[in-house]
Amino acid sequence: MQTKRGCPHNCCYCVYTVVEGKQVRINAPAEVVAEMRQLYDRGVRNFWFTDAQFIPARKFIPDAIALLREILKAGMKDIHWAAYIRADNLTPELCDLMVQTGMNYFEIGITSGSQELVRKMRMGYNLRTVLQNCRDLKAAGFNALVSVNYSFNVIDERPDTIAQTIAYHRELERIFGANNVEPAIFFIGLQPHTHLEEYALERGILRPGYNPMSLMPWTAKKLLWNPEPMGSVFGEVCLAAWRLNPNDFGRTVMALLEERFGCAPLEEALSAPLEERPLVRR
Protein backbone atom coordinates (compact mmCIF):
# COMPACT_ATOMS: atom_id res chain seq x y z
CA MET A 1 0.00 0.00 0.00
CA GLN A 2 1.21 3.50 -0.70
CA THR A 3 -0.08 6.23 1.59
CA LYS A 4 1.97 9.10 0.22
CA ARG A 5 4.57 10.00 -2.39
CA GLY A 6 7.73 12.04 -2.20
CA CYS A 7 10.42 12.66 0.40
CA PRO A 8 11.73 16.09 1.41
CA HIS A 9 15.17 14.87 2.53
CA ASN A 10 18.51 15.17 0.91
CA CYS A 11 20.31 11.89 1.61
CA CYS A 12 23.35 11.91 -0.60
CA TYR A 13 22.79 8.62 -2.40
CA CYS A 14 19.02 8.48 -2.62
CA VAL A 15 17.06 8.52 -5.83
CA TYR A 16 13.55 8.54 -4.30
CA THR A 17 13.64 12.32 -4.33
CA VAL A 18 14.35 12.23 -8.06
CA VAL A 19 11.79 9.55 -8.90
CA GLU A 20 8.96 10.75 -6.61
CA GLY A 21 10.04 14.34 -5.98
CA LYS A 22 10.62 16.24 -2.76
CA GLN A 23 7.08 17.48 -2.43
CA VAL A 24 5.13 15.08 -0.21
CA ARG A 25 1.61 14.27 -1.44
CA ILE A 26 -0.65 12.49 1.02
CA ASN A 27 -3.39 10.09 0.04
CA ALA A 28 -6.49 10.76 2.16
CA PRO A 29 -6.68 8.33 5.13
CA ALA A 30 -10.24 7.31 4.19
CA GLU A 31 -9.04 6.29 0.70
CA VAL A 32 -6.08 4.33 2.05
CA VAL A 33 -8.29 2.53 4.53
CA ALA A 34 -10.93 1.81 1.86
CA GLU A 35 -8.20 0.16 -0.23
CA MET A 36 -6.94 -1.77 2.79
CA ARG A 37 -10.50 -2.88 3.52
CA GLN A 38 -10.86 -4.36 0.01
CA LEU A 39 -7.76 -6.48 0.65
CA TYR A 40 -8.80 -7.24 4.23
CA ASP A 41 -12.14 -8.58 3.01
CA ARG A 42 -10.22 -10.95 0.74
CA GLY A 43 -8.24 -12.29 3.71
CA VAL A 44 -5.16 -10.08 3.69
CA ARG A 45 -3.85 -9.39 7.20
CA ASN A 46 -0.28 -8.21 6.55
CA PHE A 47 0.37 -4.83 4.95
CA TRP A 48 3.57 -3.16 3.83
CA PHE A 49 3.35 0.61 3.44
CA THR A 50 5.69 1.22 0.55
CA ASP A 51 6.09 4.97 1.10
CA ALA A 52 9.67 6.24 0.74
CA GLN A 53 9.15 7.21 4.38
CA PHE A 54 5.97 6.58 6.37
CA ILE A 55 6.60 9.77 8.40
CA PRO A 56 8.79 11.91 6.15
CA ALA A 57 9.13 14.81 8.63
CA ARG A 58 7.68 15.99 11.92
CA LYS A 59 5.08 18.09 10.13
CA PHE A 60 3.58 14.86 8.75
CA ILE A 61 3.06 13.32 12.19
CA PRO A 62 -0.61 14.47 12.27
CA ASP A 63 -1.17 12.73 8.90
CA ALA A 64 0.27 9.48 10.24
CA ILE A 65 -1.89 9.79 13.36
CA ALA A 66 -5.00 10.44 11.24
CA LEU A 67 -4.32 7.34 9.12
CA LEU A 68 -3.72 5.07 12.11
CA ARG A 69 -6.86 6.33 13.84
CA GLU A 70 -8.82 5.64 10.65
CA ILE A 71 -7.48 2.06 10.66
CA LEU A 72 -8.64 1.63 14.26
CA LYS A 73 -12.01 3.15 13.41
CA ALA A 74 -12.41 0.67 10.55
CA GLY A 75 -12.14 -2.15 13.09
CA MET A 76 -9.28 -3.98 11.36
CA LYS A 77 -7.89 -5.15 14.67
CA ASP A 78 -6.10 -8.33 13.60
CA ILE A 79 -3.74 -6.84 11.00
CA HIS A 80 0.03 -6.36 11.04
CA TRP A 81 1.87 -3.70 9.13
CA ALA A 82 5.40 -2.59 8.42
CA ALA A 83 7.10 0.41 6.83
CA TYR A 84 10.24 2.47 6.48
CA ILE A 85 10.14 4.69 9.55
CA ARG A 86 12.22 7.80 10.10
CA ALA A 87 12.46 7.18 13.82
CA ASP A 88 13.44 10.81 14.43
CA ASN A 89 9.81 11.74 13.71
CA LEU A 90 7.94 9.92 16.46
CA THR A 91 5.94 11.09 19.45
CA PRO A 92 4.72 8.96 22.37
CA GLU A 93 1.14 9.23 21.00
CA LEU A 94 2.25 8.02 17.59
CA CYS A 95 4.24 5.18 19.19
CA ASP A 96 1.11 4.03 21.04
CA LEU A 97 -0.96 4.11 17.86
CA MET A 98 1.68 2.21 15.91
CA VAL A 99 1.61 -0.59 18.46
CA GLN A 100 -2.19 -0.56 18.75
CA THR A 101 -2.68 -0.82 14.98
CA GLY A 102 -0.34 -3.80 14.69
CA MET A 103 3.04 -2.54 13.48
CA ASN A 104 5.23 -5.62 13.83
CA TYR A 105 8.30 -4.67 11.79
CA PHE A 106 10.00 -1.50 10.67
CA GLU A 107 13.17 -0.43 8.95
CA ILE A 108 15.33 2.48 10.04
CA GLY A 109 17.69 3.71 7.33
CA ILE A 110 20.19 5.64 9.42
CA THR A 111 23.05 4.24 7.25
CA SER A 112 25.66 4.93 9.94
CA GLY A 113 25.72 5.11 13.72
CA SER A 114 28.18 7.98 13.60
CA GLN A 115 26.50 11.38 13.83
CA GLU A 116 29.46 12.89 12.00
CA LEU A 117 28.93 10.64 8.98
CA VAL A 118 25.15 10.97 9.12
CA ARG A 119 25.69 14.73 8.73
CA LYS A 120 28.24 14.32 5.97
CA MET A 121 25.81 12.12 4.05
CA ARG A 122 23.13 14.82 4.52
CA MET A 123 20.75 12.31 6.11
CA GLY A 124 19.21 14.90 8.44
CA TYR A 125 18.91 12.42 11.34
CA ASN A 126 19.65 13.37 14.91
CA LEU A 127 20.84 10.02 16.22
CA ARG A 128 20.19 11.00 19.83
CA THR A 129 16.52 11.70 18.98
CA VAL A 130 16.27 8.37 17.16
CA LEU A 131 17.43 6.54 20.31
CA GLN A 132 14.98 8.41 22.53
CA ASN A 133 12.10 7.69 20.16
CA CYS A 134 13.07 4.02 20.02
CA ARG A 135 12.89 3.94 23.83
CA ASP A 136 9.39 5.49 23.60
CA LEU A 137 8.37 2.86 21.08
CA LYS A 138 9.63 0.09 23.33
CA ALA A 139 7.79 1.69 26.30
CA ALA A 140 4.60 1.73 24.19
CA GLY A 141 4.85 -2.06 23.96
CA PHE A 142 6.68 -2.60 20.66
CA ASN A 143 8.29 -6.00 20.97
CA ALA A 144 8.94 -7.11 17.40
CA LEU A 145 11.62 -6.92 14.73
CA VAL A 146 13.56 -3.80 13.71
CA SER A 147 15.84 -3.82 10.71
CA VAL A 148 18.56 -1.18 10.86
CA ASN A 149 20.08 -0.39 7.49
CA TYR A 150 23.80 0.31 7.46
CA SER A 151 25.92 1.17 4.46
CA PHE A 152 29.49 1.45 5.57
CA ASN A 153 32.07 3.43 3.65
CA VAL A 154 29.79 5.90 1.88
CA ILE A 155 31.89 8.92 2.76
CA ASP A 156 34.86 9.51 5.08
CA GLU A 157 34.50 6.16 6.87
CA ARG A 158 37.40 5.52 9.26
CA PRO A 159 38.21 3.00 12.01
CA ASP A 160 36.85 5.41 14.66
CA THR A 161 33.53 5.95 12.83
CA ILE A 162 33.11 2.17 12.48
CA ALA A 163 33.62 1.81 16.25
CA GLN A 164 30.94 4.51 16.72
CA THR A 165 28.46 2.63 14.54
CA ILE A 166 29.09 -0.50 16.59
CA ALA A 167 28.37 1.48 19.79
CA TYR A 168 25.14 2.83 18.32
CA HIS A 169 24.00 -0.58 17.18
CA ARG A 170 24.72 -2.12 20.58
CA GLU A 171 22.57 0.59 22.18
CA LEU A 172 19.67 -0.25 19.83
CA GLU A 173 20.13 -3.88 20.88
CA ARG A 174 19.94 -2.83 24.53
CA ILE A 175 16.64 -1.03 23.81
CA PHE A 176 14.85 -3.66 21.71
CA GLY A 177 16.74 -6.85 22.65
CA ALA A 178 19.59 -8.21 20.53
CA ASN A 179 17.38 -10.80 18.83
CA ASN A 180 14.94 -8.11 17.71
CA VAL A 181 17.48 -5.86 16.00
CA GLU A 182 18.68 -7.05 12.64
CA PRO A 183 21.57 -5.15 11.05
CA ALA A 184 20.97 -5.05 7.28
CA ILE A 185 24.27 -4.34 5.55
CA PHE A 186 24.10 -2.73 2.13
CA PHE A 187 26.55 -1.40 -0.38
CA ILE A 188 25.16 1.75 -1.92
CA GLY A 189 24.42 1.55 -5.63
CA LEU A 190 25.55 4.89 -7.04
CA GLN A 191 22.61 6.50 -8.84
CA PRO A 192 22.43 9.30 -11.37
CA HIS A 193 21.30 12.79 -10.24
CA THR A 194 22.41 12.25 -6.64
CA HIS A 195 24.90 14.18 -4.52
CA LEU A 196 27.03 11.06 -4.33
CA GLU A 197 27.31 11.03 -8.12
CA GLU A 198 28.55 14.65 -8.02
CA TYR A 199 30.99 13.66 -5.29
CA ALA A 200 32.34 10.79 -7.39
CA LEU A 201 32.65 12.99 -10.49
CA GLU A 202 34.35 15.76 -8.55
CA ARG A 203 36.98 13.38 -7.19
CA GLY A 204 37.59 11.67 -10.51
CA ILE A 205 36.20 8.34 -9.27
CA LEU A 206 33.76 8.52 -12.20
CA ARG A 207 34.35 10.32 -15.47
CA PRO A 208 31.83 12.75 -17.00
CA GLY A 209 29.73 10.94 -19.61
CA TYR A 210 29.99 7.55 -17.83
CA ASN A 211 27.13 5.19 -18.55
CA PRO A 212 25.10 4.59 -15.34
CA MET A 213 23.61 1.44 -16.92
CA SER A 214 26.98 -0.02 -17.85
CA LEU A 215 27.62 -3.63 -16.94
CA MET A 216 31.30 -3.41 -17.86
CA PRO A 217 33.12 -4.68 -14.75
CA TRP A 218 35.41 -1.64 -14.38
CA THR A 219 32.40 0.72 -14.33
CA ALA A 220 29.97 -1.56 -12.47
CA LYS A 221 32.61 -2.00 -9.75
CA LYS A 222 32.64 1.77 -9.16
CA LEU A 223 28.86 2.03 -9.18
CA LEU A 224 28.61 -0.50 -6.38
CA TRP A 225 29.99 2.11 -4.03
CA ASN A 226 32.84 0.94 -1.81
CA PRO A 227 35.80 3.21 -2.50
CA GLU A 228 39.32 2.89 -1.13
CA PRO A 229 41.02 3.37 1.29
CA MET A 230 38.41 1.41 3.32
CA GLY A 231 36.96 -0.52 0.38
CA SER A 232 39.25 -3.57 0.67
CA VAL A 233 38.60 -3.82 4.42
CA PHE A 234 34.82 -4.00 3.88
CA GLY A 235 35.23 -6.39 0.98
CA GLU A 236 37.26 -8.72 3.22
CA VAL A 237 34.92 -8.45 6.21
CA CYS A 238 31.78 -9.10 4.13
CA LEU A 239 33.37 -12.07 2.40
CA ALA A 240 34.50 -13.52 5.74
CA ALA A 241 31.00 -13.02 7.23
CA TRP A 242 29.40 -14.70 4.24
CA ARG A 243 31.67 -17.72 4.61
CA LEU A 244 31.24 -17.91 8.38
CA ASN A 245 27.49 -17.49 8.65
CA PRO A 246 25.47 -16.61 5.53
CA ASN A 247 22.23 -17.09 7.48
CA ASP A 248 23.10 -14.33 9.93
CA PHE A 249 25.21 -12.15 7.70
CA GLY A 250 24.46 -8.75 9.25
CA ARG A 251 25.19 -9.75 12.83
CA THR A 252 28.35 -11.56 11.73
CA VAL A 253 29.59 -8.45 9.89
CA MET A 254 28.99 -6.37 13.02
CA ALA A 255 30.81 -8.91 15.21
CA LEU A 256 33.82 -9.02 12.86
CA LEU A 257 33.95 -5.22 12.67
CA GLU A 258 33.80 -4.98 16.47
CA GLU A 259 36.59 -7.53 16.79
CA ARG A 260 38.74 -5.47 14.42
CA PHE A 261 37.86 -1.87 15.32
CA GLY A 262 36.32 -2.05 18.80
CA CYS A 263 33.30 -0.27 20.22
CA ALA A 264 33.47 3.49 20.91
CA PRO A 265 31.80 5.17 23.89
CA LEU A 266 28.19 5.89 22.85
CA GLU A 267 28.60 9.60 23.50
CA GLU A 268 31.33 9.76 20.87
CA ALA A 269 28.94 8.30 18.28
CA LEU A 270 26.27 10.87 19.15
CA SER A 271 28.53 13.90 18.97
CA ALA A 272 29.66 15.33 15.66
CA PRO A 273 32.29 17.99 15.18
CA LEU A 274 30.61 21.29 14.34
CA GLU A 275 32.98 22.02 11.49
CA GLU A 276 32.33 19.81 8.52
CA ARG A 277 33.45 19.81 4.96
CA PRO A 278 30.61 19.98 2.45
CA LEU A 279 30.01 16.78 0.53
CA VAL A 280 30.15 18.64 -2.77
CA ARG A 281 31.54 22.11 -3.36
CA ARG A 282 29.05 24.40 -5.08
Interface residues with ligand SF4 (CB under 6 A) are: 7, 9, 11, 14, 16-17, 52-53, 86, 109
Alpha carbons within 13 angstroms on the beta-carbon side of residue 200 total 28
- Asked if residue 217 has a cis previous peptide bond (ω within 30° of 0), the answer is no
Which CB atom, from 29 or from 109, has the smaller least distance to ligand SF4? 109
First to last CA, the chain: 38
**Rounded Cα–Cα distance for residues 112 and 178 (Å):** 18
**Rounded Cα–Cα distance for residues 254 and 238 (Å):** 10
What's the min distance (Å) between Cβ of 9 and ligand SF4? 4
What's the min distance (Å) between Cβ of 89 and ligand SF4? 10
Which CB atom, from 168 or from 261, has the smaller least distance to ligand SF4? 168
Q: Do residues 240 and 256 lie in contact, with contact meaning Cβ atoms separated by under 8 Å?
A: yes
Which CB atom, from 126 or from 245, has the smaller least distance to ligand SF4? 126
Which CB atom, from 44 or from 57, has the smaller least distance to ligand SF4? 57
What's the min distance (Å) between Cβ of 10 and ligand SF4? 6
What's the min distance (Å) between Cβ of 56 and ligand SF4? 7
What's the min distance (Å) between Cβ of 112 and ligand SF4? 12
Which CB atom, from 14 or from 82, has the smaller least distance to ligand SF4? 14
Q: Do residues 151 and 120 lie in contact, with contact meaning Cβ atoms separated by under 8 Å?
A: no
What's the min distance (Å) between Cβ of 132 and ligand SF4? 19
Question: What does the DSSP assignment read for 90-148?
Answer: --HHHHHHHHHTTEEEEEEEEE-S-HHHHHHTT----HHHHHHHHHHHHHTT--SEEEE
Which CB atom, from 40 or from 199, has the smaller least distance to ligand SF4? 199
What's the min distance (Å) between Cβ of 192 and ligand SF4? 15
**Rounded Cα–Cα distance for residues 189 and 202 (Å):** 18
Which CB atom, from 53 or from 115, has the smaller least distance to ligand SF4? 53
Task: Please choose, from the candidates 174, 126, 150, the residue with its C-alpha nearest in 3D space to the C-alpha of residue 257.
Answer: 150
Amino acid at 198: E
